[in-house]
Amino acid sequence: MRIFSLLLSFILSFLFSLPLFSQTVTTLTGHISASGGVNVDKAGQVYVADYGVALNNSNGSQVLKLNPASGNLSIFARGLSGASGNDFDSKGNLFQSNIAAGTISKISPSGVVTTFTSVGISGPVGIVIDEGDTLYVCNCGNNSLRKVWPSGQSVPFSASTLLSCPNGITRDPQGNLYVANFNNGDVLKVTPDKQVSRLAVIPGNRNGHLTYSPEGYLLVASHGSHSIYKVSLSGDVSLLAGTGVRGIDDGPALQATFSAPNGIATSATGDTAYVNCTIPTVGYPPTLNPSVLRMITGLRSPNGLEDLDKALSLRIGPIPAKGKLGISLKVENPQILSIKLFGADGKQIQIWQPAIKAFQEEKISLSLPDMAPGSYQLSISGDSFSVTRMISIW
């Protein structure tokens, strides 16, 4: 019996010593000029546009093409003007926004650039294309979305007051659009009948682009918090990669660092994401180039983000909360948690740092006195995990 107990103890210790996450961040390129949108074609080639050297100097004029298998990097297209968001149609043409020129370019599979449209286009950034090759364009310049048919004719699609420099845009298989604002942390859902609602708020108060993963969730590049977040289609927010400290260190996803990440796209399998980010510099305004292209692998790992709540036995409630909020979880070693509460504007309101034990359910009660009703973000971080959840307070 004693031998069995010792063996069981060893197995449990081994299991709990395994890393909770298997996602890994790797830098794929040296310093390049590629600060705009990122996309992946059907063959798995990665395309990175160049917005320019700074937010107030969108002088980028090219799109680069990377073969992740060979590492071969080449110029795919030239002659653009502040190349930002992009997407492929069914024929393999890349449609590229030109924020400085106020136009959308069509780039053939061989890299030939022609102007597709400028009608109704104002400070264009993100683009997503549906199965019928209809474009939906983020107009940061006038806080609207534009619908453009394959013929080039277009109509306004949405001018909701929730749009605040719409930056990134993506689409799920049901035809819902998801938009990331640059002027705040909002991720918005836009239904096919043009109903706009706030789906989630990303810490950092400034979003880059976002993408829909074949696994059924969104990935958002947080320009403001130097991190990458996962957002479920019901609005749950979880930290996928990054420490929040600006840098370009590779390694396990939650130990790697990012610097103002902007473009993001996933592979066809959903196992890999590609992100560009800037090289940290001193001074203001911060520069966007040079930049690098990064790769996050292991997104479909059974020990990955999808099983985080299960691994932690994490429960939060009641939702909506009033006066108090309870958290229940288990961890694999004694540690001090960092629990932060953020407002919808991304600003930190409160922080708690309770010490907890290992291998037993810990119940934590947070006092929420005089909190205005509304939506908030609750971030819970430990030695080997970090999650962010939307909560409601009334």
Domains detected in the chain: 24-304 (2.120.10.30), 313-393 (2.60.40.2550)
pLDDT value, residue 309 = 60
Split at pLDDT 50, 70, 90, the class of 292 is very high
| pLDDT for residue 389 is more than 90 | no
pLDDT value, residue 284 = 66
Split at pLDDT 50, 70, 90, the class of 345 is low
Instruction: Give tens-digit pLDDT for 31-83.
Output: 999 999 999 999 999 999 999 999 999 999 999 999 998 999 999 999 999 99
Nearest in space to 368 (alpha carbons), one of 385, 387, 379, 352: 352
| pLDDT for residue 386 is more than 80 | no
Helix/strand/coil (H/E/C) assignment for every residue in the chain: CHHHHHHHHHHHHHHHHCCCCCCEEEECCCCECCCCCEEECCCCCEEEECCCCECCECCCCEEEEECCCCCCEEEEEECCCCEEEEEECCCCCEEEEECCCCEEEEECCCCCEEEEECCCCCCEEEEEECCCCCEEEEECCCCEEEEECCCCCEEEEECCCCCCCEEEEEECCCCCEEEEECCCCEEEEECCCCCEEEEEECCCCCEEEEEECCCCEEEEEECCCCEEEEEECCCCEEEEECCCCECCCCEECCCCCECCCCCEEECCCCCCEEEEEECCCCCCCCCCCCEEEEEEECCCCCCCHHHHHHHHCCEEEEEEEEEEEEEEECCCCCEECEEEEECCCCCEEEEECCEECCCCCEEEEEEECCCCCEEEEEEEECCCCEEEEEEEEC
Split at pLDDT 50, 70, 90, the class of 357 is confident
State pTM to two decimals. Answer: 0.78
Instruction: Give tens-digit pLDDT for 255-281.
Output: 999 999 999 999 998 999 999 999 998
pLDDT value, residue 314 = 82
| pLDDT for residue 15 is more than 70 | no
Nearest in space to 80 (alpha carbons), one of 47, 111, 113, 109: 113
pLDDT value, residue 369 = 82
Distance CA 96, CA 284 (A): 28
Distance CA 268, CA 193 (A): 28
| pLDDT for residue 282 is more than 80 | no
